[in-house]
Amino acid sequence: MKTRTKIDLYDTTLRDGAQSPGISFTTEDKLRIIAALDGFGVSYIEAGNPGSNPKDIELFEKAAILNLKNSKLCAFCSTCHAGTNAYKDESLLKTVNAKTDIVTIFGKSWLLHVEKIIKTTAEENLRIIFDSIKFLRDNDKTVFFDAEHFFDGYCDNPEYAVKVLETAKDAGASVLILCDTNGGKMPDEIGRIVHDVGAGFSRPQEKINANHGRDVLFGQHQKRDILFGQHQGREDPAPTGKPMSDIKIGIHCHDDNGLAVAGTLAAVKNGAVQVQGTINGLGERCGNTNLCVVLPNLQLKLNYDCVPEENLKNLTSFARYIAEISNIAFDENTPYIGGHAFTHKAGMHIDAVNKLPSSFEHISPELIGNVRNTLVSEIAGRAALMNKMRRHMPNITKDSQELKDALNLIKSYENNGYQFENAEGSLSLLLLKSINQRKIFFSVETFKLVLSEPGVNSHKPSASVKVKVDGIDEITAAEGNGPVDALDKALKKALATFYPKLKDMKLIDYKVRVLNSNAATAAKVRVLIESSDSDNHVWRTIGVSTDIIEASWNALLDSVEYKLSLDEGLTGV
């Protein structure tokens, strides 16, 4: 078997992915995503744009102390403006000061954009690309160059598009990334152009433009000579400049035609060695190339080397974890990692799969951490669960009855919409319960919550809660900024009479996910709560119900019980 070619995964979830409608990451979200990407083993993480977003400067400072093991951070920026000097450009100066060794800079490679959008000359565009990269190189940055709209530019004017690449290379860029920014190119077109660029020649226009001109795609309004570019046509492949075989080529696709993964694979087969994309395909419009789909295609199907082999098994849980932080509903139809990807419905298929899985599965789901026909949960995997339980039962084995009982208990919760991947606090309590070591610290006797005429300040939601500890009742009430806040305050106020340390406990995050959107407000909701105490312990708990108040309440009860269990050494974070 020949040596496997290394392909670098370059993740831009935090930059291009943040352009998805509805996505908005906090700095805390971003740091958790960076840590997860590093743990999973992507080569590069494009974390933000310090030149245009002051919060990203802070992000790079905080990220610098994460001590990443597998990934390198990249700052993203634009070239300086036409008619200005790179060394005076405020954004470039901020980028240089951000704590990253690598800067990814984008520039125009399509004359249409040069002339109609940034409104400058072809020569000046080359000048600002050269000067901006040179400035970054002079400041000891490794530079990746994103050639924006490269494929559209190349089809319009191959000489100019290639000249842009040569300029970036001459200025000191290490990788040239060819971008299908509008996401409309066909995979075979992308493959052919990546090949041609590597070889140093261009093809005649007629072939590049396939059968259809851009005038068809945009109606009759636009000038054919600009958009169709036939005046650039030549008969045969002809040299356009130096071959690009001595510099690394990257690929960056968007999914506007549903072909981002195919286009990316075509580029890799033709020599690209850096693959840009996002986790779960987040991104502007229809999204970027989904790294979670392209990765198993590259590594399992086409035998490239992208991440350490053992990490592939974490792909499914990793993708779900990022979806959770992104607060998006995970698409269960996603190839490879979706909950439906190995779910068989037709009776004939199920029969056949029972005889021989490969009869209706293109790969073994275990290879990427997915499962056949049952609820997806990393934690429900026997081995992972055994590790968790070993804390309480050092001699537990694969065949222990306790392990089976715990698995069954977790499965029954999962069938009701619970998911413990991001709620290890609730999971710990459930494990304690399954081995009869859960301690009853308190019981709730009654609670009542009243809301009226919201928006009027004097009518804040109020909650009354009655708890019992060691036979002693305590009833109290509290107002809050919202119903969950009122319940949280009343519960802790009542319990603090018995457990004063609860006063130090803080809720630091609260997330809600609707499980079955079609049922709208009658759908089940999943609430995740993150809590901390004065010893800097952090834990997460979960509640599920059709009633958002009930779901929140259950997550609140778990968070308090976990804190009390922790203080008694029953569990550890």
Single residue of 68, 93, 273, 286 touching a second copy by CB under 8 A: 286
State which of positions 527-566 bind a second copy (CB under 8 A): 528-531, 545-550, 552-553, 556
Please choose, from the candidates 337, 335, 305, 299, the residue with its C-alpha nearest in 3D space to the C-alpha of residue 321: 337
Single residue of 38, 56, 488, 533 touching a second copy by CB under 8 A: 488
State which of positions 149-178 bind a second copy (CB under 8 A): none
Using rule CB under 8 A, residue 367 touches a second copy: yes
Query: For residues 388 and 428, what is the distance between their CA atoms, to the nearest angstrom?
Result: 8
State which of positions 5-34 bind a second copy (CB under 8 A): 19-22, 24, 26, 28
Least distance between a second copy and beta carbon 174 (Å): 25
Provide the mask over 423-462, with x wherever binding to a second copy is found by CB under 8 A and - wherever it is not: -----------------------xxxxxxxxxx-----x-
Using CB under 8 A, which of the segments 62-70, 85-93, 389-397, 501-509 binds a second copy? 501-509
> Residue 230 contacts by C-beta under 8 Å, 6 or more apart in sequence?
205, 206, 209, 213, 224
Single residue of 47, 176, 341, 429 touching a second copy by CB under 8 A: 341
Single residue of 30, 113, 163, 493 touching a second copy by CB under 8 A: 113
Using rule CB under 8 A, residue 340 touches a second copy: yes
Least distance between a second copy and beta carbon 341 (Å): 5
Whether residue 538 contacts residue 562, with contact meaning beta carbons closer than 8 Å, is answered with: no
Using CB under 8 A, which of the segments 38-46, 390-398, 495-503, 515-523 binds a second copy? 515-523
Whether residue 562 contacts residue 430, with contact meaning beta carbons closer than 8 Å, is answered with: no
Using rule CB under 8 A, residue 285 touches a second copy: yes
The angle at the Cα of 534, spanning 531 to 537, to the nearest 5 degrees, equals 50
- Number of residues in contact with a second copy under rule CB under 8 A: 139
Strands 8-11 and 274-277: parallel
DSSP letter string, 278-315: BGGG--STT-B-BHHHHHHIIIIIS--B-S-GGGGGGH
Single residue of 199, 222, 247, 273 touching a second copy by CB under 8 A: 222
Query: For residues 92 and 132, what is the distance between their CA atoms, to the nearest angstrom?
Result: 8
Please choose, from the candidates 555, 553, 565, 569, the residue with its C-alpha nearest in 3D space to the C-alpha of residue 441: 565
Instruction: Enumerate the β-bridge partners of residue 509.
Output: 530
Using rule CB under 8 A, residue 567 touches a second copy: no
Using rule CB under 8 A, residue 314 touches a second copy: no
DSSP letter string, 8-23: EEEE-TTTTGGGSTT-
Which CB atom, from 87 or from 510, has the smaller least distance to a second copy? 510
Least distance between a second copy and beta carbon 149 (Å): 8
Single residue of 41, 229, 250, 281 touching a second copy by CB under 8 A: 281
User: Can you tell me whether residue 260 is helix, strand or coil?
Assistant: helix
Which CB atom, from 407 or from 451, has the smaller least distance to a second copy? 451
**Radius of gyration for the alpha carbons in the chain, expressed in angstroms and rounded:** 28
Provide the mask over 237-256, with x wherever binding to a second copy is found by CB under 8 A and - wherever it is not: ------------------xx
Least distance between a second copy and beta carbon 359 (Å): 6
Least distance between a second copy and beta carbon 7 (Å): 13
Given the structure tokens 């990490």, which residue do they identify?
311
Least distance between a second copy and beta carbon 247 (Å): 25
Which CB atom, from 232 or from 289, has the smaller least distance to a second copy? 289
Whether residue 77 contacts residue 91, with contact meaning beta carbons closer than 8 Å, is answered with: yes
Give, in order, the Cα–Cα distances in Å from 122 to each of 112, 151, 208, 268.
10, 17, 22, 29
Using CB under 8 A, which of the segments 35-43, 79-87, 217-225, 243-251 binds a second copy? 217-225
Which CB atom, from 207 or from 511, has the smaller least distance to a second copy? 511
State which of positions 53-92 bind a second copy (CB under 8 A): none
Which CB atom, from 169 or from 513, has the smaller least distance to a second copy? 513
Query: For residues 241 and 163, what is the distance between their CA atoms, to the nearest angstrom?
Result: 7
User: Can you tell me whether residue 73 is helix, strand or coil?
Assistant: strand
The angle at the Cα of 210, spanning 205 to 213, to the nearest 5 degrees, equals 80
Using rule CB under 8 A, residue 223 touches a second copy: no
